[in-house]
């Protein structure tokens, strides 16, 4: 039984979105499961003394350009959301809540939220918007909205976030395979090679 690819992503990270569209094929090729782990970059920025990628004048401009050409290269629909960057607490809580059932549900909810946001440019920062996206996946709006206020669900995200920080997760997307970290969409080819060769 091989270890899963642990996939860390922040819902307001457009590179996390691109990765979410690409990791499935890669994992399948190597017979690996994916462990979906949304997290919040806010505490990372605080710990590292950094800020949102797009807020840096030169790096931000480059990243926006790189994002669009990377999406074009891989044929992934991309549209800047109306609200960006945004607080992704509601989206991350929804994913963990859905993920209590199983990882397949978490994957579906993650992709529905990411596609609404960066594929269609919709705002997913508010609970009601998150519930609206999930209703397209067969969830009841009222049930989702209640879940997003549930102390247990809130705690789940908090614990996962602390755990990610303790593992040195500082960016989105980031992948861990048996403890080996890979950061960024540009690292997917190296992750692919690592899984193929067993590392070097």
Q: Where do contacts with a copy of itself occur on this chain (CB under 8 A)?
A: 44, 47-50, 56-59, 61-62, 65-66, 69-70, 72-73, 168-171, 181, 183-184, 186-187, 189-190, 193, 200
* Least CB distance to a copy of itself at residue 33 (A): 24
CA 195, chain centre distance (Å):
21
State the nearest-atom distance from the C-beta of 72 to a copy of itself, in Å: 6
Chain centroid, CA 38 distance in Å:
5
Beta carbon nearer to a copy of itself, 153 or 174: 174
Give whichever of 62 and 136 is closer to a copy of itself, judged by the CB atom. 62
Nearer to a copy of itself, 66 or 137 (CB): 66
CB of 177 to a copy of itself, least distance (A): 13
Close Cβ partners of 145 (under 8 Å, ≥ 6 residues apart): 127, 128, 131
**From CA 190, how far away is CA 181, in angstroms rounded?**
11
Residue closer to a copy of itself (CB basis): 64 or 104: 64
DSSP-derived letter for residue 186 is G
Tokens of 41: 């970059």
Q: Which helix (H) or strand (E) holds 65?
A: helix 57-74
CB of 49 to a copy of itself, least distance (A): 7
Peptide bond into 24 cis (omega under 30): no
């Amino acid at each position: 039984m091989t270890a899963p690819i642990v996939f860390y992503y922040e819902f307001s990270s457009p590179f996390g979105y691109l990765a979410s569209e690409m990791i499935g094929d890669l994992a399948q090729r190597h017979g690996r499961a994916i462990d979906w782990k949304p997290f919040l970059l806010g505490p990372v920025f605080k710990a590292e003394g950094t800020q949102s990628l797009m807020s840096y004048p030169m790096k931000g401009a480059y990243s926006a350009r790189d994002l669009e050409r990377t999406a074009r290269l891989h044929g992934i629909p991309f549209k800047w959301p109306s609200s960006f960057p945004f607080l992704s607490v509601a989206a991350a809580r929804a994913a963990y809540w859905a993920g209590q059932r199983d990882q397949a549900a978490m994957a579906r909810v993650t992709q529905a939220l990411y596609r609404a946001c960066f594929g269609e440019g919709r705002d997913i920062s508010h609970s009601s918007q998150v519930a609206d996206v999930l209703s397209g996946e067969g969830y009841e709006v009222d049930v989702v909205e209640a879940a997003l206020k549930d102390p247990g669900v809130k705690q789940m995200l908090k614990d996962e976030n602390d755990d990610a920080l303790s593992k040195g997760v500082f960016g989105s997307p980031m992948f861990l395979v048996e403890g080996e970290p890979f950061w960024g969409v540009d690292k997917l080819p190296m992750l692919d090679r690592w899984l193929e060769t067993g590392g070097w």
